[in-house]
Structure 1
Amino acid sequence: MNNSYRRDNELPYIATKEVLQEQLKAKKAFREYNEVMPFDLKRGRELIAESGIRHGAEIYLEPPFYCEYGNHIKVGDYFYANTGCIISDVGEVVIGDHVLFGPRVNILTAGHPIHPVSSNSGYEYGMPITIGNNVWLGGNVTVCPGVTIGNNVVIGAGSVVTKDIPDNVVAVGNPCHVLRKITEADKPYYFKNRKFDDEAWEAIQNRK
């Protein structure tokens, strides 16, 4: 059983030269991407395709952006990652539609055993991360291996997400926990107790 198979099936594996070689395509693509963007959008789109990232319509990654394999990442429509995003895609990363990442978000599927004997053996692992639709991760959020974040979720800035987060909530903290539900009463507000002005509210109401 080779280490690439072990890695892709959530088994402990050793990062051999062959495994590391698989990363070079994405690393090369994003080294160039981080140099040419945002000045050459056409080349930027080509490089995302070359990296192996699978995505829907309207994806934008503010440079610098970093990932390990690329082809372990699947993104839906209308995805935006602000500057400094790191996706450690040893395990599969699935991201839904209409997802926003603040600056310096870390999506970390990789990990190591906690006991020193096990850790020093060279074995590591990758556990999948799933992020639903209509999710906003604030700046400096870290999502840890094996976590699922539901639909219609806001994760507060600086949070460390170590466990699954359900649908329709605001969650914050280290470790991240549910602060409250998101309800229809939240719709007219854009920041705390500040309501949308009439022009903005009309545009929201008229959206199809």
Structure 2
Amino acid sequence: MTVPRQVLDRMQSGDVYLCDDEEMLAAQRAQMELLYDFNATRPGEMDRRMTLARRLLGFVGEGAYIEPPLHANWGCNTSVGNRFYANFNLTLVDDGTITIGDDVMLGPNVTIVTTGHPIRPDLRRAPTITQFSLPVSIHDGVWIGAGATILPGVTIGENSVIGAHSLVTKDVPANVVAYGNPCRVVREIDGRDDVYYWRDRRINPPFDVVPEPGR
């Protein structure tokens, strides 16, 4: 089943919308069937797993790998780039769009959330159960540590590293290390990172050779 355009437009408008009408629920059930099949694949069924991933998600780049189990509200609103890697228990609250670039790595139990509910209580009670969705963008080369949560509307810049269990509530610029609750920039990625891979542990050969700029 293809998700109707009017359903996608409603979710991606940035406005408050009703989230429990039958058209939307029927489209979501079809996506959940694909998700179930993906998570039920055996370790030796990699070709089938990736075929299902490409049916479930909006776009899957070359060399991408997603470790089951995967959890997603929809799947079709998420696009991942080339050589993307996600460890187990990735959760995508993707009523809004999630756009992930090339060479992005996600540790286990990462949660990416595009959706929230209004603070006004009557908008969270039946029959007027509403929500809103804002896009999340994760640029090329980002590494997100285990258990981190990315909230609606956040952009993470190229090559940045998000520490484990961080709560990312606002944009993170490119080429920085950031962590905490709430997540904050701790330092820029610099020349020391060309030499040391973890605290005072030096990068060993043959990985200690730093590529020339542009390579």
Q: How big is the shift at 1:29?
A: 1.5
Identity of aligned residues (%): 37
* TM-score, normalised via structure 1 length: 0.92
Deviations 1:60-113 (A, max 9, x none): 111100112222111111100000000111001000111000000000111100
Alignment partners' CA distance in 2, 1:49 and 1:136: 22
Relative to its length, the structure with more helix (as a share) is: 1
Match of 2:143 among 136, 150, 154: 136
Deviation readout 1:147-168 (Å, 9 max, x if unpaired): 1111111000000000111111
2:176 aligned to 169, 173, 187, which one? 169
Task: Point out 4+ residue stretches in structure 1 off by more than 6 angstroms.
Answer: none
* Distance apart, 1:37 and its partner CA: 4.0
**Counterparts of 2:206 and 2:8, CA distance in 1:** 54
When the two chains are superposed, the root-mean-square deviation of aligned CA atoms in Å is: 1.8
Are the aligned partners of 1:25 and 1:69 in contact in 2 as well (CA < 8 Å)? no
Q: 1:183 to 1:125 in 2, by over 3 A?
A: same
Q: Any unmatched runs of 5+ in structure 2?
A: 1-5
CA contact (8 A) 1:27 1:66 kept: no
Provide, for residues 154-194 of structure 1, a one-character-per-residue CA deviation record: whole Å limited to 9, x for no partner: 00000000011111111011111111111122112221110
Aligned length: 206
CA distance in 2, matches of 1:205, 1:190: 15
Give how far 1:3 is off.
5.6
Partner of 1:46: 51
Give the drift of 1:58: 0.9
2-structure distance, mates of 1:103, 1:24:
26
- So what's the TM-score if we normalise by structure 2? 0.89
Q: Deviations over 1:101-152 (max 9, x none)?
A: 0000000111100121232231111110000111000000000011111111
Partner of 1:14: 18
Matched AA of 2:208: W
Q: SS at 1:30's partner residue?
A: helix
The worse-fitting range, judged by mean Cα deviation, of 193-202 and 86-95 is: 193-202
List runs of 5+ in structure 1 lacking aligned partners: none
2:71–2:90: 8 Å Cα contact kept in structure 1? yes
Q: What SS class does the counterpart of residue 23 from structure 1 fall into?
A: helix
Partner Cα separation in structure 1 for residue 42 and residue 196 of structure 2: 34
